[in-house]
A = this chain, B = another copy of it.
């Protein structure tokens, strides 16, 4: 019954996550502009996040907040006045950050500004030119090949002007000021896995945690990639010392196995927590060493910050052909994969919240569990045996130098079993809690 309810809840959360993705899909996003504002507005219907506007030209470490980009319309018309490429059909058609243009030109001149994927002739690629002024159109290779010689009307009604970089932040206070960071990027237009899946998971995770008792405080960032994390770090440098654990949320909706990329520290508690959860999930998974290439973990893990922030998703970016194409659409992500990823994130949070240090109050020889009714007091026959082992492990290793996660890893038992054993022993006064590990 419990299991049925869990499956039902999983289905429910998967559907809700998918619905949010559907709502966000049509919007044309970029690293700045109204698309970002609309996106955050829709997320605000789920969680009361605050939005921030950082003016163009603000210096953020080695970078400068760029001009704001907005686009009203864009198309290419042939001699017959037919729109052969139309931004209204797919916002991917427009090179992101294209400057305005309205001009007649020959096909050969036009072609220098057209991008396709010959290997996947039906897909539209996603291309950007943030820091070098340019214009262009992306289209399927099939369409490109059908374009006839002759004059074309190119029309891009965009603006690239002083404005703001917009980002969203949601902070959930906990018992301590020490915090867990979840960061997702919000700068891609109609792409589902690479962008919207992360936004959706972060949103529903925040919603879920807002209803729970929290030891840690939680910070959710909805930011444009690279420039967004750099901006946030530059403006919030004084808060970064509070970040004890963090994850970059991205690519959590595809069919691939869960993949964790370690933080630069490599053996931080978040690294050990995520790896534990994946190892005990009974599903295939992959662990990647840190590398300085990727999403916003590049900034969180730059040497001047070196925050314990890893990246948890499914198939890594660039490792699936649909990546950065129109094929990363509403068919590519599925409620069941979203729900599966969501569950992993909740389990990681559970480890972090409960990964405490206890001391065995009866350290000389075993306590007599029988007289306390602690032998066989837990669960079914198979569970009972495991629970008894968990009780013995927690008692044996709770010497003040090990957290529950350390004990789970030493015993090769699931964290939840160890957590439950600790809970029972705590009630029986055979354990007491300490705040810092004992140095021996």
Q: Which of A243-258 contact B (CB under 8 A)?
A: none
Q: Give the residue of B229, B364, B395 whose beta carbon is less than 8 angstroms from that of A305.
A: B364
A292 lies within 8 A of B234 (CB): no
A396 lies within 8 A of B131 (CB): no
Chain B minimum-CB-distance residue to A289? B410
Q: A303-B396, A303-B398 are contacts. A61–B292 as well, Cβ < 8 Å?
A: no
Chain B residues contacting A389 (CB-CB under 8 Å) are: 291-293
Q: Which of A302-359 contact B (CB under 8 A)?
A: 302-306
Q: How many identical chains are in the complex?
A: 3
| Chain A positions 146 through 159: 1 when the CB is less than 8 Å from some CB of chain B, otherwise 0 | 00000000000000
Chain B residues contacting A363 (CB-CB under 8 Å) are: 302-304
A303 lies within 8 A of B393 (CB): no
Count chain A residues whose beta carbon lies closer than 8 angstroms to a beta carbon of B: 43
Chain B residues contacting A304 (CB-CB under 8 Å) are: 360, 362-365
Q: Give the residue of B302, B364, B371 whose beta carbon is less than 8 angstroms from that of A364.
A: B302
**A298 touches B (CB below 8 Å):** yes
Q: How far is the CA of A61 from the CA of B393 in the complex (A)?
A: 19
A233 lies within 8 A of B293 (CB): no
Q: How far is the CA of A12 from the CA of B264 in the complex (A)?
A: 46
**A213 touches B (CB below 8 Å):** no
| Chain A positions 276 through 293: 1 when the CB is less than 8 Å from some CB of chain B, otherwise 0 | 000000000000000111
**A17 touches B (CB below 8 Å):** no
A-B contact pairs, 21 of them (CB 8 A): A61-B362, A62-B366, A62-B367, A131-B368, A131-B370, A132-B370, A226-B366, A230-B365, A233-B364, A237-B364, A264-B396, A292-B393, A293-B389, A298-B366, A298-B396, A299-B366, A302-B366, A302-B396, A304-B362, A305-B365, A306-B399
Residue positions of A touching B, CB distance < 8 A: 60-63, 131-132, 226, 229-230, 233-234, 237, 264, 291-293, 298-299, 301-306, 360, 362-368, 370-371, 389, 392-393, 395-399, 411
